[in-house]
Amino acid sequence: MDHTSPSLRQDARTIGLIGLAHGSSHFFHMLLPPLFPFLIAEFGFSYSELGLLVSVFFVVSGVGQALAGFLVDHVGARPVLFCALSCFALAGLTAGSSSGYAGLLVASVLAGLGNAPFHPVDFTILNKRVSPQRLGHGFSVHGISGNLGWATAPVFMAGIATATGSWRMACLCGGALALVVLAVMVWNRDALDDRQGSWGGQGAKAAPGAAASPANEHPMAFLKLPAVWLCFSFFFWSTCSLSAIQSFAGPALQRLYGLPLSLTAMVVTGYMLCGALGMVIGGFLVGRVARLEKTISICLLVSGALLALVGAGLLPGMAALVVAALAGMGIGIAGPSRDMLIKRASPPGATGRVYGTVYSGLDLGFCLAAPVFGAMLDAQMNAGIFYGSALSLVLSVASAGLVGAGVAPRAGRPAGAAA
């Protein structure tokens, strides 16, 4: 065994820490939305006003994410991670002490700033510190932790608000949680040092198939690569699909199939859990498949077909709910392959910039898709939620296929495959 290769314990430690950090970022996506009923009761806000808080979060996060990649490449990922978690703590404190809409708006801005660096930070550290044979599993854990963060936040925030009778206490507890995670990261900071990576370090070799990066190349040169914008497009369309399901699948199923809303609301939980299971499977596949775009395409097209079947209204009610949830599995399986494909398309030394730019497509997707699908639901286009989600997956497959076609000729073997 190569003595420079990190041990399983070292890899697992770094992967676990990044998973915890990523789960925290997804948790803070949902800092305020579970508390909307409490905020309406106290302040009389409309859902449009509260929805603007979510839009502000994703606009700040999207713009900040593209810029954060440059910062990560310049100063390193670890200090940026510490600052991001500090922003989350400030967001919880600001929300908990706010006396009106302005305070909540500031909290949304702070949470968006905190969320912005996470993908360039996470993937820079994973790519630098985790050995290639375990990198697929690292991507898998990263995706699973995000789903768990989304699933945990509503229970945590609404549960504390209900138990204490105070939404402010829930926000303060959210801020305290961010401080706990920050303390864990600082305590284990040696496992997060991307400047002295145990696998790649400063002298890391480019992944097989990565685009060449000439010496002294301009920092913005990566923006000329078509693969970067195709990856951006992939994230935009796949996130549009997720936004439709995450926000509107419950009421759409209720109208299409006459099921109680309390039951159809569970479709999002099922979708996320199936997605998490799919990511576990995808982590094993990513190091064994040469043409990652094929895995991505097959999985997303199957998921799109399942969602279209639900929209057609041909299934019994409970079967439709189960099939919609199962669509999440294909998206989960594709996740680690998606992240590895981006790694292959990234020029050496530009990991943070590429992931920051590419993942800003996720924020743009959330920001723009929700109003469109919400308007469809208002117009009684209930099946359109599922058809639109399926169509978005098809468009994302086209982007992934073009990225893979460009990367494949340069790749000698799958990145992350054991020697």
* Across 70-98, average pLDDT: 94
How far apart CA 250 and CA 269 sit, in angstroms, is: 10
Sign of the alpha-carbon dihedral angle for 229, 66, 22, 374: negative
Q: What is the 3-state secondary structure (H, E, C) of the chain?
A: CCCCCCCHHHHHHHHHHHHHHHHHHHHHHCCCHHHHHHHHHHHCCCHHHHHHHHHHHHHHHHHHHHHHHHHHHHHCHHHHHHHHHHHHHHHHHHHHCCCCHHHHHHHHHHHHHHHCCHHHHHHHHHHHHCCHHHHHHHHHHHHHHHHHHHHHHHHHHHHHHHHHCCHHHHHHHHHHHHHHHHHHHHHCHHHHCHHHCCCCCCCCCCCCCCCCCCCCCCCCHHHHCHHHHHHHHHHHHHHHHHHHHHHHHHHHHHHHHCCCHHHHCHHHHHHHHHHHHHHHHHHHHCCCCCCHHHHHHHHHHHHHHHHHHHHCCCCCHHHHHHHHHHHHHHHHHHHHHHHHHHHHHCCCCCHHHHHHHHHHHHHHHHHHHHHHHHHHHHCCCHHHHHHHHHHHHHHHHHHHHHHHHHHHHHCCCCCCCCC
Tell me the fold of 222-410.
Growth Hormone; Chain: A; (1.20.1250)
Sign of the alpha-carbon dihedral angle for 2, 20, 88, 271: positive
At 354, the pLDDT band (50, 70, 90 cuts) reads confident
At 46, the pLDDT band (50, 70, 90 cuts) reads confident
Q: How far is CA 392 from CA 12, 237, 275, in A?
A: 35, 5, 17
Q: Other CB atoms closer than 10 Å to residue 314's CB: what's the count?
A: 9
Q: What is the pLDDT of residues 153-212, one digit of tens each?
A: 888 998 899 899 999 999 999 999 999 999 999 999 999 988 765 554 443 444 444 444
pLDDT greater at residue 356 or residue 336: 336
How far apart CA 196 and CA 78 sit, in angstroms, is: 11
pLDDT greater at residue 356 or residue 364: 364
Region at 402 (left for phi over 0; alpha for psi -120 to 50; beta for the rest)? alpha
Tokens of residue 312, six digits = 């057609």
How far apart CA 281 and CA 294 sit, in angstroms, is: 15
How far apart CA 368 and CA 374 sit, in angstroms, is: 10
How far apart CA 88 and CA 36 sit, in angstroms, is: 19
Q: Which residues of the chain are in CATH 1.20.1250.20 domains? A: 8-196, 222-410
* Across 354-368, average pLDDT: 80
How far apart CA 310 and CA 314 sit, in angstroms, is: 7
Q: Cα torsion for 350, 355, 361, 367, to the nearest 10°?
A: -120
How far apart CA 144 and CA 3 sit, in angstroms, is: 30
* Across 269-295, average pLDDT: 82
At 348, the pLDDT band (50, 70, 90 cuts) reads low
Q: Which of 144-158, 231-245, 307-321, 368-382 has the highest mean pLDDT?
A: 307-321
Residue 74: pLDDT over 90: no
How far apart CA 247 and CA 51 sit, in angstroms, is: 12
How far apart CA 135 and CA 141 sit, in angstroms, is: 10
Widest Cα–Cα separation across the chain: 64
- The pLDDT score that the predictor gives to residue 406 is 57
Q: How far is CA 386 from CA 25, 144, 383, in A?
A: 27, 23, 6
% residues pLDDT > 90 (the chain): 35
Q: Which of 193-207, 309-323, 375-389 has the lowest mean pLDDT?
A: 193-207
Residue 415: pLDDT over 50: no
Q: What is the pLDDT of residues 5-24, one digit of tens each?
A: 568 889 999 999 999 999 99
- The pLDDT score that the predictor gives to residue 309 is 96
Query: Tokens 């996740």 belong to which residue?
Result: 335
- CATH no. of 8-196: 1.20.1250.20
Residue 405: pLDDT over 70: no
At 414, the pLDDT band (50, 70, 90 cuts) reads very low
- The pLDDT score that the predictor gives to residue 33 is 84
- The pLDDT score that the predictor gives to residue 2 is 46
Residue 340: pLDDT over 50: yes
